[in-house]
A and B are shown apart, each in its own frame.
Chain A
Amino acid sequence: GAGVSQSPSNKVTEKGKDVELRCDPISGHTALYWYRQRLGQGLEFLIYFQGNSAPDKSGLPSDRFSAERTGESVSTLTIQRTQQEDSAVYLCASSRLVEETQYFGPGTRLLVL
C-alpha cells in the first residue's frame, strides 16, 4: 500500500505566523512519531502517538508546539508564533506496533523568515 505521506512538502512562513504540518501514516499503523531534523543534525524526537493518545510529549520544545491525532490515522503538528530557530525538516514516521520498524515520510521542510 501507500507509504507515509506528509504535507506540505515545503513551507515558507514569516516569523510569528502559525503553521500546521500534516502526516498520513500507513493504514493500520497504530504508532506515529514526529521528529525534527535541523540541517546537518540528528533526529530530534518531538512526540509520539499510540493510537490517538500521546504517552510521551517530552520532546516538544515549548508550548508553541502541539500535536494531535484523530481516528488513529492522520496527525497534525502545529507550531504557533513561529521563530527562526523552528526552521528544520519535520519528519513523521509510523509503525504497526511501537516496537516495530518505523517507516518515514518524505518530511516537511519549514523555513521561517
Chain B
Amino acid sequence: QKEVEQNSGPLSVPEGAIASLNCTYSDRVSQSFFWYRQYSGKSPELIMSIYSNGDKEDGRFTAQLNKASQYVSLLIRDSQPSDSATYLCAVNRRTSYDKVIFGPGTSLSVIP
C-alpha cells in the first residue's frame, strides 16, 4: 500500500461545478495535511493545510479531514478554468521520524 494515494484522473468538471479531490493515507498517527496546486510547468504552491478533523474553508476551497478513515479531501466550489491544474495531497508521516509524503497528484480540468 502506498503511503499517500490519490485518483490520478484526469478529473473533468464543467465551469461552475464542484470539483471533489480525494486522498487517503496509511500512517494512522499523521498530524499535518496539505493540499498543493501545480500548474503545468510551474512549482507546487500551497492551497490549504489542515490539522484537525472536520472542515476548513478558505474562499472557494474546503478541505475535509477524517482521521478515523484516514481520508482528506479538497472541494473546489464554482470551479473556474483557472483551477485547471494538478492537485497534490501531502501528509506528514510520523513513524520513525517526521517526513512529509506527497501523493501522485490528481489532474483537474475545468471545461468552460
Q: Which residues of A contact B (CB under 8 A)?
A: 33, 35, 42-43, 45, 48, 55-56, 91, 93, 95, 98-107
CB distance B44 to A42 under 8 Å?
no
A-B contact pairs, 18 of them (CB 8 A): A42-B88, A43-B44, A43-B88, A55-B97, A56-B99, A93-B44, A99-B32, A99-B94, A99-B98, A99-B100, A101-B34, A102-B34, A102-B90, A102-B100, A103-B46, A104-B43, A104-B45, A105-B43
Q: Which residues of B contact A (CB under 8 A)?
A: 31-32, 34, 43-46, 49, 88, 90, 92, 94, 97-105
Docked pose: A50 CA to B32 CA in angstroms? 17
Given pairs A45-B101, A56-B97, A104-B45, 14 additional interface contacts (CB within 8 A): A33-B100, A42-B88, A42-B104, A43-B105, A91-B43, A93-B44, A95-B100, A98-B99, A99-B31, A101-B34, A101-B49, A102-B90, A104-B44, A106-B43
